[in-house]
Amino acid sequence: MTTTPAPELDRIDRRILAILQEQGRMSVADLAPKVALSAAPCLRRMRRLEEAGVIARYAAILDPRKLGLGLTAHLEVQLDKQAEHARSTFRKAVGRWPEVLACFALSGQWDYSMKVVATDLDAYAKFLMEKVIALPVVVNVQSSFVLETVKDTSALPV
């Protein structure tokens, strides 16, 4: 996995990023004084950060419980290492599953880890049985259910 070199970020860029991570809808007019700039240079910096891909996107963070998604699970998946197409088959399937919030390829015992939401245990069981386990390339799964969220953030340390 290669990474693109990060652009040089000064103290003001980092402050802009920190504020936008917490308040993504803040207007340039409100943001500029918080970073000791006028609106035009603040907007230029934001656009530069967007163009460089440092700011990947702006998004609303939704409360899953308020949407009836009361169950969160972490699911570890092991694939059939003999099947040539196992990884591509699995990745394509995951891309079609709206229940999967995140999926990570891993080193170690498990091949993938997924964060999954569902309305309840019955809905999760249906997802697991009809989608995940139904894939012929999946040979083993392990579910862990979230009992309490201690920390959940998308904010990076800038």
**Domain assignment of residue 84, yes or no:** yes
| pLDDT for the residue numbered 82 | 83
| pLDDT for the residue numbered 137 | 97
Among the listed residues 158, 100, 155, 88, the one whose alpha carbon sits nearest the alpha carbon of residue 127: 100
| Domain residue limits at 17 | 11-51
Q: Which amino acid is at 121?
A: L
Both 46 and 106 in one domain: the answer is: no
| pLDDT for the residue numbered 81 | 87
What is the C-alpha separation between 58 and 144, in angstroms, rounded? 30
What is the C-alpha separation between 112 and 42, in angstroms, rounded? 40
What is the side-by-side strand order in the sheet with 112-118?
100-105, 112-118, 71-79, 138-145
| Per-residue tokens: 156 | 């990076």
**Total domain count for the chain?**
2
DSSP letter (8 states) at residue 130: I
Both 97 and 133 in one domain: the answer is: yes
**Domain assignment of residue 47, yes or no:** yes
| pLDDT for the residue numbered 1 | 57
* Residues 2/50, Cβ–Cβ less than 8 Å: no
Each residue's pLDDT, cut to its tens digit, for the chain (158 residues) gives: 556 677 899 999 999 999 999 999 999 999 999 999 999 999 999 999 999 999 999 999 999 999 999 999 999 999 998 888 999 999 999 999 999 999 999 999 999 999 999 999 999 999 999 999 999 999 999 999 999 999 999 999 99
What is the C-alpha separation between 76 and 115, in angstroms, rounded? 9
What is the C-alpha separation between 137 and 82, in angstroms, rounded? 9
* Residues 79/86, Cβ–Cβ less than 8 Å: yes
| pLDDT for the residue numbered 83 | 82
